[in-house]
Each structure stands twice: as C-alpha cells, then as structure tokens.
Amino acid sequence: MQRVIGSVGRQALASFNQIATQVTLAYKILRLMTVPSKYGRALVRRITMEQVYFTAVQALPIIVPIAILIGGMIIIQFSRFSGQYDLGKITVLIIVRELGPILTAFLIILRSATAVTIEVGYMNVLHEVDTLEMSGIDPLWIVCVPRLVGITSAILCLFIVFDVVAIVGGYGLVWIITYIHLGEFLLQIANAISVADITVGLIKAVLFGITITVTCLYHGFKTQKHITQIPVAASRASVQCFIYCLIISTVISILFYL
Amino acid sequence: MTVIELTNYSFDSKKTGRPFQPFDFSLAHGDVFSISTDSVEDALTFLKALATLVAPLSGSYRFLENALSFSNHQYLLEAKKNIGFMTSHAALISNRTIRENLLLQRAYFTNSLSPKLDPNAQALCNLFALENKLDLRPAALTEHDYRCVIAVRELIKKPLVLLMEYPEQYIGITNLDAFNDILFDMVGGQVGIVFLSEYKNFIETFSKRDLVISNGTLQTVEG
C-alpha cells in the first residue's frame, strides 16, 4: 500500500515539476518578447517568417480539404436534424466556437509541433544548442521566440481559414440537398455569431499556440543525451499538447458560455 | 591580466565517477597549456568546464576578473562568446548552410543578414579548401571538412581563449603547418590557449606549461 501511495506521490510531484518548468519557460519566452534583446532581431525576424511559412502556408493544402469535408459533414447532419431552420446557428455553435480552434490545433500538433520537438531534440543531442551559446547567442531568443510567435500566429490564421472554409466550403459541398440559399445561410450565421464567439476563438488560438509551442520546446530541450530519446519525446509532446488543448478548450467554453 | 581564473573549482570526473579534487587554475593572455591525461573524457570535461559548458560542483569562475554566475545561461553568454571551442563537442547548426553557420555570430551581433564573408573568413575558407562548399548543408560535408568549418568559425570569432582537442586530427596533418602559423599569430596577439594533443611536435612547438589530469586531480607543471 505504501509503495502505491509512494508511486502516486512521485508521479504527482513529477507532473507538478514538469508543469512548473513549462510555465517558467513560457514566462521566460514571453518576457524576452516584451523586453527584446538589441541583438539578433534580423535573425529572429527571418526565423519567425520561416516558421510561419512551415506552419501556416505549407499546412493550407491539408487544412482546406479537411475543413471542407468536416464542414460538409456537419451541415449534412444538422440540416436533417434541425429541419434546416437553425442551420446557421448550429454551424456557428459547432464550427466557430468549438471545432474550428480545436481541429486547427490538432492539425498543428500533428504536422508542426512534433517537428519542433524533433528539431530541438536533435539540436540538443547534437550539441547545436551549446554551439549557439558558444557564439554568444541566446537559444531562448533565437530558437524559442520565433517558434512561439510563428506557431501562435499560424494557429490564429489557420483557425480563421478553417472556419471560413468549413462554413462556405461545407455549404458548397452539400448545396444540392439544402433548400436554404447561400445568402440566407450566411445571414443566419451573421445573426448567430457574436463578438464573444470571435473573442473566444482568438483567445483559444493564442492559448493553444503558447501551450503547444512551450510543451514541444520543453520536451525537445529535455532530450539531452541519446538520439533514441527523440521519438519518445515527440510522442509525449504530441499527446500532452492534445490533452492540454482539450482542457483549455473546455475551460474557456465553460467560462464564456455557462 | 588573467583571462580565466578558477578557484577551488570542482566538477564530476568521468573516470573516477566522483567529483574532481578542488583545484586552482589561471590562464593569462598569451598563456599556452597542453594537457596530459590518463582519461580523455576528463580532459574534454575540463575543456568544457573552461568553456562554461559544465556547471561546477564547487568553486568560483572569473572571466576577465568578473565572477560568473551559473544560475542562468544568459549570464554566461558574454564569456562564451570570447572562447574558441574546437573539440568533439563542437557542432554546426545542421539546418543552415556552411555560409550561414560562419556568418551566424556576425548576423546576430550586427543585425545584418548580408551573405558576404569578410576577407579574413574568406581567406580561411580558401586555406581549408571550403570555398566551393559554402552553400552546402553540414550533412553534405565529409567529417574532415565539417571539423575544418568549425575551426574556421572559431577562428573568425577572434577569441580571447582557444580550447582545442587533438588539433592534429581536427585540422588534419596536412593543414597543420598553416594552422600553426595562425596559432603563432594568435599567441602573439595574447590569446590564451589550452589544448589536448598527442602530436609531440605540436606540443613542443606551443606548450609553455603542462596540465596533468589524472585520477580526478589537476596539477600544473611548468614546461
């Protein structure tokens, strides 16, 4: 019995320690952004642009068809369920409030977050982080800040793209079976959507971006010695990002809509 | 004036698995130390400790007479910037080209992304036959070229201290004479050097004092 309690206690302490370290890392990166170093600004700008390109632009060919399919699926189901009377309202409820931000975050986790963990893990194992430091370059400024800014802004942009494409593209996919005109459908959406919906979406996207980046950077930097630790770190990072995003999404929905 | 001064310093010994016996060490401008050791790993750990890559278990580290704090990596960057580090622990940034690797420090401190190497860097690239490989990624280089790029990068830093592990293997015997000339200029320019080598000629040419690292102890022997 004592062993079980001891094991649970150790795991709880380890989890607490990890969360505290991640919060500290997030604080350090955000502080660097508010009081930026006078050095390395051109490099940080370039790496941030590269990160936005890899995370947002290169993800468009994946996110657009997924958004159309999911939008179409939801509109088909709810057009039958509600007799198409509240179709716009239901679409806002499901896509803009909940599915848009969370599905965008999941796609980013699958596509880019694991890549960040692997990249930083390799940099650590192959002593590239030490190499940066030996040149007097701060890895937090040159590695972490561009990834945080790049991934967060990518999630923000992709979340908007996802919502618009899911609604309009989804409608386009199923226009044959609906008798509501596009104009009427969009009017329903315009009437249903509120400032709170947009604000909540933006808050979720920013928090997802920070959480995903910090979790991936944490696991990447934790990989110290062996190259075989990198896939394990990538797997742990993606699962944790997934869970954290679900928790954040639920908590924000409760705070704003209950 | 001393560049590096370690007082009552200790870190973990790879050979004995226990901490090093606390030791004092100081490196002045133009000093050259060679290392004799029964454990290459301990010698490399000592070089890493000099490069502030290993946190001490006890003692103090003064760089240019300023005490360094190991509590935050940012406090060490100014010292690290002035230390050339040519060991097996040194690396290139793998997702950048050789040119970008060589220009990284300049790009960072001058906020300039100009792809043009300065004449000194260009001359060193020519010396090590790297001029046609500048737009390759590190993975496309041979092991020898990879180490030569690291050597060029560390030399163009204009360091106050140069730490080297087996320069004869790092640079290659064929390039060693040319490298020796560069080192003579550096020593003349008051750069402190600490190196580990098995090449007797190189040791006799440069070493002014010998550091003996054995069984977790460090002693200085006048040459």
Task: Determine the pLDDT at residue A85.
Answer: 65
Query: Confidence band (pLDDT; 50, 70, 90) for B38?
Result: confident
Q: Strands of B2-10's sheet, edge to edge? A: B23-28, B2-10, B58-63, B66-67
Query: Confidence band (pLDDT; 50, 70, 90) for B189?
Result: confident
C-alpha distances in Å from residue A219, one per residue of A6, A118, A151: 25, 9, 16
The DSSP output letter for B129 is T
Task: Determine the pLDDT at residue A83.
Answer: 60
pLDDT over threshold 80, residue B105: yes
Q: Does B117 touch chain A (CB under 8 A)?
A: no
Query: Confidence band (pLDDT; 50, 70, 90) for B46?
Result: very high
Please tell me which residue of chain B has the smallest CA distance to A135: B81
pLDDT over threshold 80, residue B14: no
What is the ipTM for the molecules in this complex?
0.92
Among A42, A131, A139, the residue with its CB nearest the CB of B107 is A42
Among A39, A131, A140, the residue with its CB nearest the CB of B90 is A131
Contact B111 A140 (CB under 8 A): no
C-alpha distances in Å from residue B127, one per residue of A64, A88, A125, B145: 52, 70, 31, 12
Total structural domains within chain A: 1
CB contacts, 8 Å: B82 with chain A: 136
CB pairs under 8 A between A and B: 77
For residue A235, what are its two tokens? 């797997």
CB contacts, 8 Å: A127 with chain B: 89-91
Q: What is the pTM of this model?
A: 0.89
Comparison of pLDDT for B100 and A179, the residue scoring more:
B100
Indicate the Cα dihedral angle A164, A169, A170, A172, nearest 10°.
140
Name the amino acid, one letter, at B6.
Answer: L
| Residues B60/B6, Cβ–Cβ less than 8 Å | yes
Range with the poorest average pLDDT among B29-38, B127-136, B213-222: B213-222
Range with the poorest average pLDDT among B1-5, B15-19, B31-35, B61-65: B15-19
Among A127, A135, A139, the residue with its CB nearest the CB of B81 is A135
Domain ranges in chain B? 1-82+199-223
Architecture per CATH, B1-82+199-223 = 3-Layer(aba) Sandwich (3.40)
Query: Confidence band (pLDDT; 50, 70, 90) for B9?
Result: very high
Alpha helix locations (H) across B129-172? Answer: 143-156, 167-171
Task: Determine the pLDDT at residue B217.
Answer: 87
Comparison of pLDDT for B79 and A98, the residue scoring more:
B79
Distance, first Cα to last Cα, chain B? 20
Among A14, A24, A3, A64, which residue's Cα sits nearest to residue A236?
A14
Contact B90 A132 (CB under 8 A): no
Q: Tens-of-pLDDT digits for all 258 residues of chain A?
A: 888 899 999 999 999 999 999 999 999 999 999 888 889 999 999 999 999 999 999 999 999 999 989 888 888 777 776 666 677 778 887 888 888 899 999 999 999 989 999 999 999 999 999 999 999 999 999 999 999 999 999 999 999 999 889 888 877 777 777 777 778 878 888 888 888 888 888 899 999 999 999 999 999 999 877 889 999 999 999 999 999 999 999 999 898 877
Residue range(s) defining the domain that contains residue A63: 2-257
